[in-house]
């Protein structure tokens, strides 16, 4: 039996990425271009489908990085996933963008941290499970950099846009290093969603898909 075809996307950070597991394997496109996701996402999806030799009618499910991340970017990804899923009645697999960040790096223990602006970070600890995919330890949270309370036991690797900004304050003997310029990627979103589908997860409907902001959302004009 052939594997279901997933069309995946993540737009939670400066990186806008799309991936599909077509007949010739995984195909992905990523552009790091802040404040342009609304212009580039749909053309990227069209190109990815063309490169895979597929059309939307050939897609079995949509996988979407739902944040946390930039409010505008997250909304663009979620609304696009909803529109595509509604058009064909497809199931949607919401994936944490922090989990996708952890899944995109070959490290067994990962400290994910994205710049949340306002002097805060989106932070979470992930440890590789038996299937090789990252498992959340505790909860994802938004907090000041000094309140991350990274684990002091076990050896970890840092990843995410907050590390170049705040790594000096996070120096601990058990943090082996950190990776710069690494973002949540649609390929990792696809891999996580596909693994859930294989375990029997049927996803959700387009109407049930919601952004994962962590921080309360404020209407435009009230955001600082």
The answer on 51 and 162 residing in a single domain is: no
Q: In this structure, is residue 93 part of a structural domain?
A: yes
Q: In this structure, is residue 38 part of a structural domain?
A: yes
For 224, the token pair is 């600082």
Burial 155-165 (b: 16+ CB within 10 A, else e): ebbbbbbbbee
The answer on 110 and 193 residing in a single domain is: no
Q: In this structure, is residue 37 part of a structural domain?
A: yes
Mean pLDDT by 10 residues, the chain (224 residues): 90 97 95 93 98 97 97 97 97 98 97 96 97 96 96 97 96 95 96 97 97 68 40
For 165, the token pair is 């900004």
Q: Please calculate the CA angle 132-138-139 and round it to the nearest 5 degrees.
A: 105
The answer on 25 and 128 residing in a single domain is: no
Count of domains for the chain: 2
| CATH number of the domain residue 66 falls in | 3.30.420.40
Q: In this structure, is residue 215 part of a structural domain?
A: no
For 85, the token pair is 């899923």
Q: In this structure, is residue 217 part of a structural domain?
A: no
Residue 220 — φ and ψ, nearest 5°?
-55, 135
Coil/strand/helix, residue 99: helix
Q: In this structure, is residue 130 part of a structural domain?
A: yes
Residues 91-147: pLDDT tens digits? 999 999 999 999 999 999 999 999 999 999 999 999 999 999 999 999 999 999 999
The answer on 71 and 10 residing in a single domain is: yes
The answer on 174 and 69 residing in a single domain is: no
Q: In this structure, is residue 17 part of a structural domain?
A: yes
Coil/strand/helix, residue 192: helix
Residue 215: CB partners within 8 Å, gap ≥ 6?
A: 68, 116, 120, 142
The answer on 109 and 91 residing in a single domain is: no
Cα separation, 123 vs 116, in Å, equals: 9
Look up the pTM and report it: 0.94
Q: In this structure, is residue 24 part of a structural domain?
A: yes
The answer on 116 and 84 residing in a single domain is: no
The answer on 198 and 174 residing in a single domain is: no
The answer on 75 and 16 residing in a single domain is: yes
Give the structural domain span for 154. 105-179
The answer on 197 and 169 residing in a single domain is: no
The answer on 193 and 168 residing in a single domain is: no
Mean pLDDT of the chain: 94
- Judge contact between 123 and 215, C-beta under 8 A: no
Environment class of 86 (CB within 10 Å of its CB; exposed 0-12, middle 13-18, buried 19+): middle
pLDDT at 3 (0 to 100): 87
């Amino acid at each position: 039996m052939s594997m279901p075809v997933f069309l995946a996307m993540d737009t939670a950070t400066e990186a806008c990425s799309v991936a599909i597991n077509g007949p010739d394997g995984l195909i992905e496109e990523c552009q790091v271009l802040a404040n342009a996701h609304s212009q580039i996402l749909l053309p990227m999806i069209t190109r990815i489908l063309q490169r895979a030799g597929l059309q939307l009618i050939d897609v079995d499910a949509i996988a979407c990085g739902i944040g946390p991340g930039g409010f505008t970017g997250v909304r663009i990804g979620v609304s696009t996933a909803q529109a595509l899923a509604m058009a064909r009645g497809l199931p949607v697999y919401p994936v944490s963008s922090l989990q996708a960040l952890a899944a995109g790096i070959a490290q067994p223990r990962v400290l994910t941290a994205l710049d949340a602006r306002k002097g805060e970070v989106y932070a979470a600890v992930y440890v590789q499970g038996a299937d090789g995919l990252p498992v959340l330890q505790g909860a994802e949270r938004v907090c000041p950099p000094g309140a991350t309370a990274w684990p002091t036991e076990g050896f970890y690797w840092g990843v995410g846009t907050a590390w170049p900004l705040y790594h000096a304050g996070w120096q601990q003997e058990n943090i082996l290093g950190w990776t710069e310029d690494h973002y949540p990627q649609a390929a990792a979103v696809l891999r996580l969603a596909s693994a859930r589908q294989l375990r029997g997860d049927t996803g959700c409907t387009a109407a049930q898909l919601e952004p994962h902001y962590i921080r309360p959302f404020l209407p435009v004009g009230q955001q600082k």
